[in-house]
Amino acid sequence: MSNFIEVQNVSFSYINDFEEPPIKNTVLQGLSLEIKRGEFVAILGHNGSGKSTLAKMFNAINLPESGKVLINGMDTLDENNLFDIRKTVGIVFQNPDNQIVATIVEEDVAFALENIGVEPEKIRQSVDEALNTVGMYKYREHAPHKLSGGQKQRIAIAGVLAMNPECIVMDEPTAMLDPVGRREIMKTIKKLDSMGVTIVLITHYMEEAAQAGRVVVIDNGKIILDNEPKKVFSQLELLKSVGLDVPQVTELTHSLIASGIPLKNDIISEDECVLALYELLKKG
Amino acid sequence: MIKDITIGQYFPGKSLVHRLDPRIKILLTVLYIVMLFSASGFLGLGLGMIYLIIAFLISKIPIKMMLKSIKPIIPIIIFTGILNLFFVEGGTVLFSWWKLQITSEGLRTMVFMAVRIIFLICGTSLLTYTTSPITLTDAIERILSPLKAIKFPAHEIAMMMTIALRFIPTLVEETDKIMSAQKARGADLETGSVLQRAKALIPILIPLFVSAFRRAEDLALAMECRCYHGGDGRTRMRQLKAGVIDWVAVAVTVIFMAGIFVLNGLLPI
């Protein structure tokens, strides 16, 4: 199977024109990444590591300075591909308040389809489907500003989902939410994953990244780790050296191992940890 | 709470008037205004009143709301009333003092104008009471869309209005937050002269503006991600369709108008 998203040796920098001479701030340098159709990839990195910049590469908001980004074989540098790429890859951003356009939930979900020029009956159908998927159908006639953060973010997801994209990129979708909202969003993400949508989740919550099928760690615009979660989080020292954490349970098991207690070093979820400790204590 | 403010004066309901096609409702309002201005006598105005009362009864808007809509224009009514009373000449002189005199014609014009203004406001408020701002925006876009041929930005204007309506509650909430934050740092917003209080608003307005621009940038990005590229080739999920009821409403209005023209001809008082 060919790669769905192909990032080939991409560099990118922001240029600050306000200064004299302009300051060039290189964010990505020679980064390459391949994502297959249907994968659930988490991208980790501390603030300013270039992870959001990379996310905006996936639907031609940011264009590479050198190198190439191919989405389903379409080059993001070719303007003729623009709308096809944006229909294929949708992005959900951090602040739900700033991505909702309309004053009624269902109107907002319909926004993307209206822009593409879909016929009204089909819009209605896709909007209802998208709202059902994120579990917000009964709120379809509400005003967005009266909903909770998690609900608003689900509306934003539905707004992208209505286009029926093959891939949804989420740029720290839970950063501004409370724990309840965060759980709602993770549930939605997992549901989308099970439906076969390719998901790229950018986050700095390790517990969320641990649920992905693959974790990519970026530091200073370069990929330093790219593996399944268990393997990535077992590299405790490397992660700490780039200013990242590991899930709490991993931290716990590692300190237990360090003090001589025999445990596996690839525990990343609470359930696993509970089970391992239970087995250990049973043995006495 | 500040979050619960309503924009405009929409009064939600499911009455016949609420359900009319908003474009037709705007048309009816225009016809109603024409009706009031073409009535030359009290009988004509009476017919306008009957029309207004019927519309209000169907809409199930409480009478209190109607009275509330008149309140802000009372000074205008009084002002025009006084002007009409003293400066319209004709008929018999009822009262005169120094250079001022009140004539029967002046008295008649005063009452006539006051009644006309009141009806005008009541009728037009009925439109905003029964149509949500977003529906109204939608209708305005569609009414103005033929003007796109002469490069009139109908879609852009409607889009701006929609976004403004969408962000009013968000910005109000934000203002609330900034005010609390500044108060927590010792800002005094409630006391002092008007000038002092106006000055105290600066530390609230500046963060608000900065944040509004940031939001605008985010929103533009999110809209681009969802393939927004202006009004060209755009479709709408919600289609406005004028049904039988809408045309019946238009017909009834036209009959009332005709009635007023007939009355004007027969009894021009």
pLDDT digits (tens, 9 = 90+) for B227-257: 898 878 888 888 888 888 899 999 999 999 8
Of A90, A99, A104, the CB nearest to B134: A104
- In degrees and rounded to multiples of 5, residue A5 shows phi and psi of -115, 130
Rounded mean pLDDT of B116-135? 87
Hey, is A48 helix, strand or coil? coil
Confidence band for B29, pLDDT divided at 50, 70 and 90: very high
Pairwise CB contact (< 8 Å): A100 & B134? no
**What separation in angstroms does the CA of B118 have from each of A139, B41, B108, B123?**
39, 16, 16, 9
Amino acid at A137: Y
Name chain A contacts of B166, Cβ cutoff 8 Å.
100-103, 144-145
State percent of chain A over pLDDT 90.
49
How many Cβ pairs within 8 Å bridge chains A and B? 96
Which residues, including other chains, have CB under 8 Å from residue A258's CB and lie 6 or more apart?
none
Q: Where are the beta strands (DSSP E) in B120-248?
A: none
Check CB contact of A91 with chain B, cutoff 8 Å.
yes
Q: Are A203 and A44 in contact (CB under 8 A)?
A: yes
Please tell me which residue, A265 or B76, carries the higher pLDDT value: B76
pLDDT at B1 exceeding the cut of 50: no
Which residues, including other chains, have CB under 8 Å from residue A181's CB and lie 6 or more apart?
A148, A149, A150, A151, A153, A174
Please tell me which residue, B101 or B52, carries the higher pLDDT value: B52
Pairwise CB contact (< 8 Å): B234 & A159? no
CA-nearest residue of chain B to A128?
A: B237
pLDDT of residue B79: 92
| Residue B153 C-alpha, separation from nearest chain A C-alpha, in angstroms | 17
pLDDT of residue B269: 55
Q: Do A194 and A224 belong to one domain?
A: yes
- Give the whole-angstrom CA distance, residue A192 versus residue A198: 8
Taking the mean position of all CA atoms in its chain, how far away is CA B258? 26
Strands B100-103 and A89-92: unpaired
Hey, is A169 helix, strand or coil? strand
Check CB contact of B177 with chain A, cutoff 8 Å.
no
- Give the whole-angstrom CA distance, residue B81 versus residue B109: 8
Of B134, B233, B237, the CB nearest to A103: B134
CA-nearest residue of chain A to B160?
A: A101
Q: Do A66 and A115 belong to one domain?
A: yes
User: Which helix (H) or strand (E) is A35 found in, with range?
Assistant: strand A23-35
Q: Do A109 and A240 belong to one domain?
A: yes
Name chain A contacts of B219, Cβ cutoff 8 Å.
98-99, 101
Residue A65 is classified by DSSP as S
- Give the whole-angstrom CA distance, residue A31 versus residue B97: 93
pLDDT at A218 exceeding the cut of 80: yes
pLDDT of residue A182: 92
Q: Which residue in the block uniquely carries the two structure tokens 């991600």?
A: B225
Check CB contact of B1 with chain A, cutoff 8 Å.
no
Confidence band for B4, pLDDT divided at 50, 70 and 90: very low
Q: Do A241 and A267 belong to one domain?
A: no
Confidence band for B8, pLDDT divided at 50, 70 and 90: low
Q: Are B111 and B44 in contact (CB under 8 A)?
A: no
Number of domains in chain A: 2
| Single pTM value for the model | 0.82
Q: Do A115 and A143 belong to one domain?
A: yes
Token pair in block for residue B25: 């409702």
- Give the whole-angstrom CA distance, residue A231 versus residue A161: 31
Rounded mean pLDDT of A206-235? 89
Strands A222-227 and A214-219: antiparallel
Give the residue extent of every domain in chain B: 2-131+241-266, 154-225
User: Which helix (H) or strand (E) is A198 found in, with range?
Assistant: strand A198-202
Segments forming the whole domain that contains residue A261? 247-284
Q: Is there a cis peptide before residue A96, judged by omega within 30 degrees of 0? A: no
Q: Do A122 and A83 belong to one domain?
A: yes
Q: Where are the beta strands (DSSP E) in chain B?
A: 93-97, 100-103
Q: Do A260 and A192 belong to one domain?
A: no
- Domain at A161, CATH number: 3.40.50.300
| Residue B80 C-alpha, separation from nearest chain A C-alpha, in angstroms | 40
Rounded mean pLDDT of A81-99? 92
Q: Do A104 and A242 belong to one domain?
A: yes
Q: Do A240 and A270 belong to one domain?
A: no
- Give the whole-angstrom CA distance, residue B97 versus residue A73: 92
Q: Do A254 and A242 belong to one domain?
A: no
Q: Do A267 and A140 belong to one domain?
A: no
Pairwise CB contact (< 8 Å): B237 & A103? no
Q: Do A73 and A199 belong to one domain?
A: yes
- Give the whole-angstrom CA distance, residue B210 versus residue B222: 19
| Residue B26 C-alpha, separation from nearest chain A C-alpha, in angstroms | 21
Q: Which tens digits make up the pLDDT trace of B165-187?
A: 889 888 988 999 999 998 898 88
Report ipTM (2 d.p.).
0.86
Q: Which tens digits make up the pLDDT trace of A161-189?
A: 999 999 999 999 998 899 999 999 999 99
Check CB contact of B215 with chain A, cutoff 8 Å.
yes
Token pair in block for residue A153: 């973010």
Exposure letters A267-278 (e unless 16+ CB within 10 A, then b): bbbeebbeebbe
